[in-house]
Chains A and B, each alone.
Chain A
Amino acid sequence: MLGFMMVIIKRDLLLIARQPADFLNPLVFFVLVVAMFPLGVSPESALLSQMAAGVIWVAAMLATLLSLELLFKHDHQDGSLEQLLLAPYPNWSLVLAKVCVHWLVSGLPLILLSPIMAMMLFLPYDAVPALMLSLMLGTPTLSLLGAIGAALVTGVRGGGMLLTLLILPLYVPVIIFGASCVAAAVLGMPISAYLALLAALLIFALMITPWAASAALKL
């Protein structure tokens, strides 16, 4: 089973290396959204540092949404999804492997970029670890929950909008706890409660996603 998942992960990473545009687009989008905020709102550091947590979290969520539509789409179009579903392993392992790859190429780079974005928005340095920690727990949840939507709209023409509508409500708690975690850190308050809530959401997503997404893929 692990071997099967490794085959998919290796294959997909190779595909992304051959065609990096799919992976770079959301990252560029993330950086641009954050970079445009000081221009659009006000370059004042006091105001920006107050909004920083929310802006970075919302931009990270939108960037994730942007890349989710492709999660199963190419595989569906060229028929390799059929071959993956026919492999003699449970389909949830296929879903988990795909989510792993998605997080590696979208969530992880967002986390690595976030300190730079924090600097651009004058987020206090003390709050940067909280930002990275909350993203570390939150972005896998975004990838996991998004996989359910991506599986549902596989094979639907122009499913991007539908995917956004389906998934956005599920993202709301992650955004709330993620952004509040950083806001609490800015004020110097303890953040362990927020991290615990984010971790709980992650475990919940880890439990339902493989089951729900593999069921949706077979529709």
Chain B
Amino acid sequence: MSSVLSPTNPPSAAPPKAILHVQNLACERDERCLYHGLTLSVQRGELWHIKGNNGAGKTTFLKQLAGLHSIDEGDVTYASNTTKVIYIGHKLGLKDQLTANENLSWLVSLSGSSTQAQRYDALEKVGLRGYEENLVAHLSAGQKRRVAFARLHLQYADLWLLDEPFTSLDQQGIADEQSWLRQHLHMGGSVLMTSHQEVTVDGVKILDLGNYALANDLFKRGC
């Protein structure tokens, strides 16, 4: 059973620097090779911005790292079995018929626990004060995304996997989120994210999936 650490209280023991190794990873969808030979090592405190055209396999790549998509070729290894990962995908995993507070409650309790005060606090941090007991169905797209991100303030995780986290956020929301990213990196966490917008965080590393695609050949199928 894993415990929940508040973001201000990361694990004290000095953890190993590398957090994730990707070795020679390939991805094939519908007999089309999206990328192959992808090798990557993610260190603590690093933010990787994954780029690529539409259909380049950004979402699939994040899912492979999270363990939600099968891996046919290559390896994804985490530094330890206890590495905590939070994945927030395109589909946010929120239940429309539950309130923001209730949604956070069940999401966090999958791997820990939280009190109502903590959840209200997290919702205030993402700018949703006063919306705690509103049904998620009645929130706007941007507000839903903020509810999902409130989880990042409730649970400590070593690695954040974020798929298009800036979608439907307003300017202020994007700026806020970038500051949370910086804070997370500062505490020794790592982030892998996809985005079509620029990420203005110091030391951001770019991974362009286009570099791992096969040359465009209509007759060649598979990897």
**Interchain CB contact (< 8 A) of A15 among B68, B91, B95:** B95
**Interface flag for B188 (CB, 8 Å):** no
A 1-14 to B, binary, CB cutoff 8 A, 1 in contact else 0 = 00110010011001
Instruction: Name 22 A/B residue pairs within 8 A (Cβ), A-sorted.
Output: A7-B106, A7-B110, A10-B106, A11-B95, A11-B98, A15-B97, A18-B97, A18-B98, A78-B91, A78-B94, A80-B93, A80-B94, A80-B95, A82-B68, A82-B87, A82-B89, A83-B87, A83-B93, A83-B110, A86-B66, A86-B110, A87-B111
When A14-B102, A19-B97 are in contact, do A86 and B89 touch as well, CB less than 8 Å? no
5 new A-B pairs (CB below 8 Å) besides A4-B110, A18-B98, A86-B87? Answer: A18-B97, A79-B91, A82-B91, A86-B66, A86-B67
Contact present for B111 and A88 (CB under 8 Å)? yes
Q: What CA separation (Å) do A3 and B110 show in the bound complex? A: 9
Interface SS of chain B: helix, strand, loop or mixed?
Answer: loop
Residues of A within 8 A of B (CB): 3-4, 7, 10-11, 14-15, 18-19, 77-80, 82-88, 218
The residue of chain B having its C-beta at the shortest distance from the C-beta of A78 within the complex is B91
Q: How far is the CB of B27 from chain A (nearest CB, A)?
A: 16
Q: What CA separation (Å) do A32 and B98 show in the bound complex? A: 31
Q: What CA separation (Å) do A19 and B109 show in the bound complex? A: 23
A-B contact count (CB 8 A): 57
When A14-B102, A15-B98 are in contact, do A87 and B110 touch as well, CB less than 8 Å? yes
Q: What CA separation (Å) do A74 and B6 show in the bound complex? A: 31
Could you say which residues of chain A place their CB within 8 Å of the CB of B1? Answer: 3
Interface SS of chain A: helix, strand, loop or mixed?
Answer: helix
**Interface flag for B141 (CB, 8 Å):** no
Q: How far is the CB of B163 from chain A (nearest CB, A)?
A: 10
**Interface flag for B216 (CB, 8 Å):** no
Q: How far is the CB of B173 from chain A (nearest CB, A)?
A: 20
Could you say which residues of chain B place their CB within 8 Å of the CB of A88? Answer: 2, 111
Could you say which residues of chain A place their CB within 8 Å of the CB of B2? Answer: 88
When A15-B98, A18-B97, A218-B70 are in contact, do A86 and B91 touch as well, CB less than 8 Å? no
**Interface flag for B138 (CB, 8 Å):** no
**Interface flag for B186 (CB, 8 Å):** no
**Interface flag for B90 (CB, 8 Å):** yes
Q: What CA separation (Å) do A14 and B103 show in the bound complex? A: 11
